[in-house]
Amino acid sequence: IEGISTPAKFIREPDIFYIGVKDLKTIEITNMKSVINALQDQKLKIESFIKTEKIKKTTKKNLITIAEYYNSL
């Protein structure tokens, strides 16, 4: 049939998060291990916080929670 076009599709891509700490370069966050590696100067406290708060996924909300805790140290 002439004149009929297919409507545009929106395909949701996964979010990409980055973290920058002090004078270090910006690091892409892919999992909790990369969060801990990025915040190396407070590694033990961050690991404990993640475990205590039962944070498992690298969602925007969880990363904000971790960043707020890190900034409070």
Q: Amino acid identity, residue 48?
A: S
Q: Compute the distance between CA of residue 57 and CA of residue 47 in angstroms, rounded to an integer.
A: 14
pLDDT digits (tens, 9 = 90+) for 8-55: 889 999 899 999 887 778 889 999 999 999 998 999 999 999 999 999
SS3 percent helix, strand, coil of the chain, rounded to 5, is 45, 10, 45
What's the token pair of residue 69? 């805790």
Give me the pLDDT at residue 1, please.
Answer: 55
